[in-house]
A and B are shown apart, each in its own frame.
Chain A
């Protein structure tokens, strides 16, 4: 019997020590190898998506997954193969029962992997692994199709761009194919910059060939012979894997001068991004590839007509390309069976924040936020009340609790002022201040705006100042209306999509959490107990057990009190960081308005 030990070596698991785990497992297996009846091979794979619980080790074909594996666990795992599983490394479900297979893990069970289909299953550095799972079959099939047939299949699939805007991919390809110009380019946008989003990185790292295959099919459809993958500078491993995949595929004659020997050529190269968020915007990205400053241009003439070096250019996101081989292999109609009327297929979400199970989740479009956060994510940490979910990154918005049953797709969330965007999802509990959330995003964007057009650059500067004032107790009557006024102008008059969507975090928090703004401005208090200038913490002596946890957590030594006697916070040295409240197990630390205590 043959057995494979798959060790997750995505960036998250590597950070948690999975390279050491791989080595320890190889050593341990070698030691017992001589007399084992099972032949084992250790393989490094891409990201399993459940990064919080990494490093993840899977034993195949038994399909046993171990989590948070340390090098010292290697002998036990090696010894268990073919025998009894290592109980302590298994995932525990909500009832505390150990779970063997990922298929039975509540985080994975509801998922439907399309774009992520190979990740965690194959070694991204092995072209043979990819081919063994049907890799490059779609390209072979596409080579026998006419460009029109390829495009029609993509159109039937209903695939829309996964980068955020949701433009129909088939329509984009058809437009590009219609231009007679020579050369044409195909570009993959791997400049994933939304805070908290990492689905594109995982695909590039864990299944690089699927992106290349998608790009090659696109090149065939539109008549391009050169392509670029623009990958952000921070994604070193992704660049390495893509680079290797390109040379392996060229060596095998899959890419390069003659695509799979069919005579058509495609040269792909990797362009390292410079680290600017705005370079995820298509025209800024193209300017950056051309070697110019990464600033957007007005898009009255679309880049599909005049893109890179003024030639027709198809730019799609990593996840979009990852879906293409599936569409060609299984047909557009089969792909369209998943999802909603106007948003077909699946979407990968990066679920983070105050949720029990964080990670990458791929689900059919149209499922509810509640299903995503409660069934897959397991609900809010500590079972605290859910307050909001921030979707779509800095261009998105905050969705409140009473909208948890909204289906997640391209159009619904936009209707409510947020957006699905590239799939970032940050869950917030009642201890998140919505004014501070808005300020955080505006601060991020104020630093990441390219600064070209005045509504975005100056609008963000003023918004940041006003939000900072509100947070620090200097808010004034009319501030909320002024924020809305600036926001409307930014939406209308900004140059690019970044500027036009930059006010979304502010406008949605005003729309759904206006009371929090009013409390900051008029009552001089932060209801969530987050803004330090407006918050004072106090300990309820009746609830305090004198456990000293808060005293030990306090960074300024502001808490006094002996063991088993009620503690007290000295307001003069307290910086209102909230560490005491976070660690208290008895709900004894309460946030109050600062002024009330000071008086």
Chain B
């Protein structure tokens, strides 16, 4: 089916998410809580756009809006810009230390809102990607606590979690770098817990935490790997080269 985004004709399948259609057509829509590997959060509301169907315009959230009928989409209308500015300003006061939000605020010319109370030292915007990543891996060590304005993400009772394997996936998907990971040559500290790192036998770089490699081994049924991710790939390539004699 055919739609237009900011006047540009775009082809899409029914049910495709609007954000995906826009990105395929190189139309920029800002996002924070969207991650290609963990889609469907739909909570930061930065990706709002206006959709016009049969003369009626509505603000929708492009990352979770399935295109079901022909429509005209506006990513840059006055209503979108105004609401996106307020959303960004609200997020900035929530997480004033998050560089990515400050950059977006600059890009979208968000004025200062002096009346907004800022949380000091905060980077987290409670998008929930970390929780989703942790759950998707089957660990579920972190979750959202409380409701409403008191909401936060943490381990149960803020105590070191037995379920956490220290893989750092939560930090990797965080759009604002809010999850602190401290790492030296032999250990990694995350979520109030310290993990010993296994050193890659080939390159001497950290291959991951013991717990993380054990979990991966348990799930795949293989022995825990003695190599880091990079070296594993190289080992496979070497084996293939030897087999085919390249």
Scoring B residues 10 to 29 as 1 if CB is less than 8 Å from chain A, else 0, what string do you get? 00000000000000000000
- Residues of chain B in range 142-175 having any CB-CB distance to chain A below 8 Å: 143-144, 146-151
Check if A419 is an interface residue, CB within 8 A of chain B.
no
A488 CA / B126 CA spacing, docked (Å):
22
Flag the segment in B39-47, B210-218, B234-242 that touches A. Answer: B39-47
A451 touches B48 (CB 8 A): no
A300 touches B66 (CB 8 A): yes
Size bin of chain A's contact surface = 35 or more
B149 touches A448 (CB 8 A): no
Give the chain B neighbours of A452 by CB distance below 8 A: 43, 126, 128
CB-CB under 8 A for A446 and B45, given A482-B113, A492-B79, A493-B83: no
CB-CB under 8 A for A454 and B94, given A298-B65, A460-B148, A495-B45: yes
Give the chain B neighbours of A451 by CB distance below 8 A: 126, 144, 146-151
Closest residue on chain B to residue A293 by CB atoms: B144
A278 CA / B146 CA spacing, docked (Å):
13
B87 touches A449 (CB 8 A): no
- Residues of chain B in range 63-109 having any CB-CB distance to chain A below 8 Å: 64-66, 79, 82-84, 86-87, 90-91, 93-94
A465 touches B117 (CB 8 A): yes
B128 touches A489 (CB 8 A): no
Min CB distance A488 to B, Å, is 7
Give the chain B neighbours of A454 by CB distance below 8 A: 43-45, 87, 90-91, 94, 125-126
B83 touches A448 (CB 8 A): no
Give the chain A neighbours of B147 by CB distance below 8 A: 276, 278, 447-451
Q: Which of B79, B82, B83, B148 contacts A457 (CB 8 A)?
A: B148
Check if B60 is an interface residue, CB within 8 A of chain A.
yes
B45 touches A485 (CB 8 A): no
B113 touches A457 (CB 8 A): no
Give the secondary structure class of A's interface.
helix
Min CB distance A501 to B, Å, is 15
Check if A558 is an interface residue, CB within 8 A of chain B.
no
A297 CA / B146 CA spacing, docked (Å):
18
Give the chain B neighbours of A459 by CB distance below 8 A: 86, 90
CB-CB under 8 A for A485 and B86, given A298-B64, A462-B116, A494-B45: yes
Check if A453 is an interface residue, CB within 8 A of chain B.
yes
Check if A301 is an interface residue, CB within 8 A of chain B.
yes
Check if A530 is an interface residue, CB within 8 A of chain B.
no
Q: Which of B60, B115, B150 contacts A479 (CB 8 A)?
A: B115
Closest residue on chain A to residue B46 by CB atoms: A454
Scoring A residues 273 to 316 as 1 if CB is less than 8 Å from chain B, else 0, what string do you get? 00010100000000000000100011011000000000000000
B87 touches A298 (CB 8 A): no
Check if A466 is an interface residue, CB within 8 A of chain B.
yes
Give the chain B neighbours of A457 by CB distance below 8 A: 126, 148-149, 151
Q: Which of A293, A301, A482 contacts B66 (CB 8 A)?
A: A301
A458 touches B91 (CB 8 A): yes
Give the chain B neighbours of A464 by CB distance below 8 A: 149
Min CB distance A367 to B, Å, is 33
Check if A445 is an interface residue, CB within 8 A of chain B.
yes
Min CB distance A181 to B, Å, is 17
A460 touches B42 (CB 8 A): no
A298 CA / B33 CA spacing, docked (Å):
14
A454 CA / B117 CA spacing, docked (Å):
15
Min CB distance A538 to B, Å, is 33
Check if B61 is an interface residue, CB within 8 A of chain A.
yes
A453 CA / B148 CA spacing, docked (Å):
10
A460 touches B86 (CB 8 A): no
A458 CA / B84 CA spacing, docked (Å):
13
Give the chain B neighbours of A494 by CB distance below 8 A: 45
A492 CA / B79 CA spacing, docked (Å):
9
Give the chain A neighbours of B43 by CB distance below 8 A: 452-454, 495
Give the chain A neighbours of B150 by CB distance below 8 A: 447, 451
Min CB distance A115 to B, Å, is 31
Check if B141 is an interface residue, CB within 8 A of chain A.
no
Scoring B residues 113 to 133 as 1 if CB is less than 8 Å from chain A, else 0, what string do you get? 101110000000110100000
Give the chain A neighbours of B116 by CB distance below 8 A: 462
Give the chain A neighbours of B148 by CB distance below 8 A: 445-451, 457, 460
Give the chain A neighbours of B65 by CB distance below 8 A: 298, 300
B59 touches A492 (CB 8 A): yes
Q: Which of B48, B93, B113 contacts A493 (CB 8 A)?
A: B48
A485 CA / B115 CA spacing, docked (Å):
12
Min CB distance A190 to B, Å, is 20
Check if A461 is an interface residue, CB within 8 A of chain B.
yes
Give the chain B neighbours of A482 by CB distance below 8 A: 113, 115
Give the chain B neighbours of A301 by CB distance below 8 A: 66
Closest residue on chain B to residue A465 by CB atoms: B117
A448 CA / B149 CA spacing, docked (Å):
8
Check if A476 is an interface residue, CB within 8 A of chain B.
yes
A489 touches B115 (CB 8 A): no
Give the chain A neighbours of B151 by CB distance below 8 A: 451, 457
B42 touches A495 (CB 8 A): yes
Give the chain B neighbours of A465 by CB distance below 8 A: 117
Min CB distance A436 to B, Å, is 19
A466 CA / B59 CA spacing, docked (Å):
26
Known: A460-B149, A461-B117. 12 other contacts (CB 8 A): A447-B147, A447-B148, A454-B44, A454-B126, A457-B126, A459-B90, A460-B148, A461-B94, A462-B117, A464-B149, A465-B117, A492-B59
Residue contacts A-B, CB under 8 angstroms, 17 given: A298-B61, A298-B65, A447-B149, A447-B150, A448-B147, A451-B144, A453-B42, A454-B43, A454-B87, A454-B126, A455-B45, A461-B117, A464-B149, A488-B83, A489-B87, A492-B79, A494-B45
Chain A residues near B (Cβ < 8 Å): 276, 278, 293, 297-298, 300-301, 445-455, 457-462, 464-466, 476, 478-479, 482, 485-486, 488-489, 492-495
The 9 closest A-B pairs by CB, nearest first: A451-B151, A458-B90, A489-B86, A449-B148, A298-B64, A492-B59, A461-B149, A493-B45, A489-B83
